């Protein structure tokens, strides 16, 4: 069964996590949070940036990377890193009819280098100007999530406006 899983490795900024929770809630992605965090994990820290989608976000917390690996031994993980040598669009997600995990590192230092070195064939980067270091992590999660969803024809997501009606602009 196709499903996107977003992994945040030791996130440091609560507002970024809140924004990512919103993306996960609205795309049916599951969020995996690997401790330690650089903030206190409290609903109040996420309410505004998650646009109150905190409750709608399916998430799991792990004490560390080892616990994540033990609980998800068959996880098909792809790694977003500025050191990746190809864009996410180079991966053929259409050929994967299973769960996909996309891992993002802490805001200051990224994913642990040892983890990346063991998985070079699954590392990607988001192309940007040479002088740029990185995009905001919440933006990066959105870009990567929607690339996989695009390749999967957006799964069960609505492609039309539902609240005001798909013909809202024509009226």
**Based on C-alpha coordinates, what's the Rg of the chain?**
16
Say if residue 158 carries a ligand binding annotation: no
For residue 165, give both structure tokens. Answer: 């009606």
Alpha-carbon distance of 75 to 4, in angstroms, equals 11
In contact, 84 and 126? CB cutoff 8 Å: no
Say if residue 105 carries a ligand binding annotation: yes
**What does the DSSP 8-state code read for residue 8?**
E
For residue 20, give both structure tokens. Answer: 């990512």
In contact, 32 and 101? CB cutoff 8 Å: yes
Say if residue 108 carries a ligand binding annotation: no
Which is nearest to 89 in space by CA: 143, 40, 137? 143
Q: From the annotation, which residues make up the binding site?
A: 80, 105, 126, 134
Q: From the annotation, which residues make up the binding site for S-adenosyl-L-methionine?
A: 80, 105, 126, 134
């Amino acid at each position: 069964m196709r499903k996107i899983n977003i992994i945040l490795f030791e996130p440091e900024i609560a507002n970024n996590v809140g924004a990512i929770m919103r993306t996960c809630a609205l795309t049916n992605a599951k969020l995996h949070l690997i401790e330690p965090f650089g903030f206190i994990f409290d609903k109040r820290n996420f309410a505004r940036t998650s646009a109150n989608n905190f409750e709608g976000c399916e998430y799991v917390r792990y004490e560390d990377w080892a616990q994540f690996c033990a609980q998800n031994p068959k996880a098909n993980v792809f790694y977003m890193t500025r050191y990746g040598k190809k864009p996410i669009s180079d991966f053929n997600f259409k050929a994967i009819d299973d769960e996909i995990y996309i891992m993002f590192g802490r805001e200051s230092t990224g994913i642990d280098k040892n983890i990346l070195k063991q998985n070079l064939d699954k590392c990607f980067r988001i192309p940007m100007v040479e002088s740029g270091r990185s995009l905001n992590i919440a933006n990066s999660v959105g870009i990567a999530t929607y690339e996989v969803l695009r390749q999967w024809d957006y799964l069960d997501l609505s492609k039309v406006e539902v609240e005001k009606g798909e013909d809202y602009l024509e009226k």
